[in-house]
A and B are shown apart, each in its own frame.
Chain A
């Protein structure tokens, strides 16, 4: 049996989904469709049933790709749990009536039930059940209230007798239902509503955006640095370094295995960044340099996502983003890109047109550095002085703007206008924030660690076989002539295709000047995407789009790297 969770966007379907399927969620993104969905399983009595979290839709008469997917999926379901936002019953009922007109059993979860009280909304449940002809269960997904009742009521889902109406008739019917079941008493504005208004006004909104983004940046740095300095770093220095030294002498301080596992050790100290063995840099780079920033960034992002601030930022940025051929909502994938480019490029699906998706994906993969890369830039370049880090970020930002303006004029197609619902502010729930953080950190560990190990293995094998020298000599004119880097730096640029964090790490033993490190970081950030990004670009943009993006990337990276080298 297949249960579909359907409803308007942002009514809490995914929270109900995770409540229903519990910890045993098999979250899989299905490739091939334009907009992904998630499926999981739950126990219903003795039966194991499939639950699908369908993308949000306002109507079954698709006006967007997400709605098209929702409409198609409806064909394959056995029962629909229609999740309805109780604080906006009127608009939500449009989809509900469309579902009831179909020949499929429906049960309604009247979610955000707790909010109706604060907002002075009174809904007569029995009357609503009678008018709709299906079970209606009030729920509060974030606290779990009503979920048991919802599960118990699933077998009572039915497909009632409902006349098939056209759009206008349906709105008339909804008007009559609302008239009979809903009473609204006027409430004074709460501080949250005042803050909500202030954050979409041009002046106060700008000030709030600045405060939010600047404090987000400093909080991420504070958490990241603290984890490195006080929690994870000391573990490596105090406990792991002695183990490595013992192992090193056990292996005789040299030889093939020593090279691969421990790398280059000079004297009595282990340099975890520069030694480049599997057990030294292979563990230190992901766990002690990158992971702290991943945790810090995704914690902050989760809080911003759950508070409801991001759509407001999208509204504020809309005018600016139109100059880059995008609309305001593109700021959300862009922010995600500061964590990892892969989910960011997937998230460009929320943009309506192909042109927007191409521009957004290209800008993200070229000018938005991922958290792993940023962590390494902070780690290595930060030691030389904050101004150098600022130059890297400043350069990437300027490239983002200029390239966006160019693409706006060059890329074919059109950019539709912004049209979004702005959700009310909510206090993020720790449970959901931490759960999301764990999923993302787990995802990072699962995907990054094998590739980091692979990259380090490849580096050592190539080094032992002496292949690096050949590549370095071959590309010396570009790397040394144009970018002003030592010819060995090309290896880092090549490894950048596997993992950007390892690649920046490879610049460490080269004894670069601060300027060279700046050029190297910028070129690494902009040039060829890492393999994961490369694959997601291929999937989302197709072969032609991916080749275009990659071409732009290589050309722009060389131009900007050359300019930086020449100018400063």
Chain B
């Protein structure tokens, strides 16, 4: 089993993982943290829009839409895909 660490934008729809890091400045981190998006949280990718559109994730049974640039800086450790 190899652990894969990628950003939210590279996740496939339906994949789940745990946030391990938010790259970038304090401003971005505090905007995301205010909505509960922070290291340690388990997220599932619901969807993403074409042409660098926002990424939609589900976290604690709540859906959130995150702009592409921000989503690109949220780093996730993927869960092993189950059959």
Residues of A within 8 A of B (CB): 58-59, 61, 63, 87-88, 90-91, 94, 119, 121, 167, 171, 184, 196-197, 200-202, 205, 311, 314-316, 318-319, 327-328, 416-422, 424
Whether the Cβ atoms of B65 and A311 lie closer than 8 Å is: yes
Q: In the complex, what residues of B have CB within 8 A of residue A119's CB?
A: 61
Which of A91, A197, A314 interacts with B36 by CB under 8 Å?
Answer: A91
| Chain A residues closer than 8 Å to B31, beta-carbon distance | 63, 419
Most-contacted residue by chain A among B30, B49, B50 (CB, 10 A): B49
| Beta-carbon contact of A319 and B63 below 8 Å | no
How far is A318 from B66 in the complex, measured between Cα atoms in Å? 10
| Complex alpha-carbon distance, A509 and B41, angstroms | 66
* B32 contacts A by Cβ under 8 Å: yes
Find the B residue at minimum CB distance from A90: B60
- The answer to whether B56 touches A200 (Cβ under 8 A) is yes
| Cβ contacts under 8 Å, B60 to chain A | 88, 90-91
Q: Which residue of B lies closest to A323 (CB)?
A: B51
| Chain B residues in 8 Å Cβ range of A315 | 49, 54, 56, 65
Residues of A within 8 A of B33 (CB): 167
**Contact B65–A200 (Cβ < 8 Å):** yes
| Further contacts, 18 of them, CB under 8 A, given A88-B62, A417-B67, A419-B67 | A59-B34, A63-B27, A87-B61, A88-B36, A90-B36, A167-B33, A197-B47, A201-B13, A202-B53, A314-B65, A318-B49, A318-B67, A319-B54, A419-B64, A420-B65, A422-B62, A422-B63, A422-B64
Please state if A421 and B62 are interface contacts (CB–CB under 8 Å). yes
User: Which A residues lie within 8 Å of B61 (CB)?
Assistant: 87-88, 119, 121, 184
The smallest C-beta distance from A32 to any residue of chain B, in angstroms, reads 26
Q: How far is the CB of A543 from chain B (nearest CB, A)?
A: 31
Taken together as a complex, chains A and B put the C-alpha atoms of A258 and B33 apart, in Å, by 68
Task: Check A201 against B36 for contact (C-beta < 8 Å).
Answer: no
A-B pair count, CB < 8 Å, reads 98
Interface 0/1 of B42-62, CB less than 8 Å to A: 000011111111101000111
Residue pair A419, B35 in contact (C-beta under 8 Å): yes
Nearest chain A CB to B75 CB, angstrom units: 17
Q: Which residues of B contact A (CB under 8 A)?
A: 13, 27, 30-36, 38, 46-54, 56, 60-70
Contacts of A417 in B (CB 8 A): 54, 66-70
Distance from B45 Cβ to chain A, minimum over Cβ atoms (Å): 11
**Across the interface, do A328 and B62 meet the contact criterion of CB distance under 8 Å?**
no
Kindly list chain B residues whose C-beta atoms are within 8 Å of the C-beta of A200: 46-47, 56, 63, 65
A91 and B54 in contact (CB under 8 A), knowing A421-B62, A421-B64? no
A61 to B35, CA, bound (A): 13
29 residue pairs bridging A and B, Cβ less than 8 Å apart: A58-B34, A59-B34, A63-B34, A87-B61, A87-B62, A88-B36, A88-B61, A90-B60, A91-B36, A119-B61, A167-B30, A196-B63, A200-B47, A200-B56, A200-B63, A201-B13, A202-B47, A202-B49, A316-B49, A319-B51, A327-B67, A328-B54, A328-B65, A417-B68, A417-B69, A418-B67, A419-B35, A422-B56, A422-B62
A421 and B46 form a contact (CB under 8 A):
no
How far apart sit A197 and B33, CA to CA, in the bound complex (Å)? 24
Taking the nearest CB of chain B, how far is it from the CB of A388, in angstroms?
Answer: 35
Residues of the A chain whose Cβ atoms lie less than 8 Å from the Cβ of B63:
196, 200, 421-422, 424
A318/B30 in contact, CB under 8 A: no
Minimum C-beta distance from A548 to chain B (A): 27
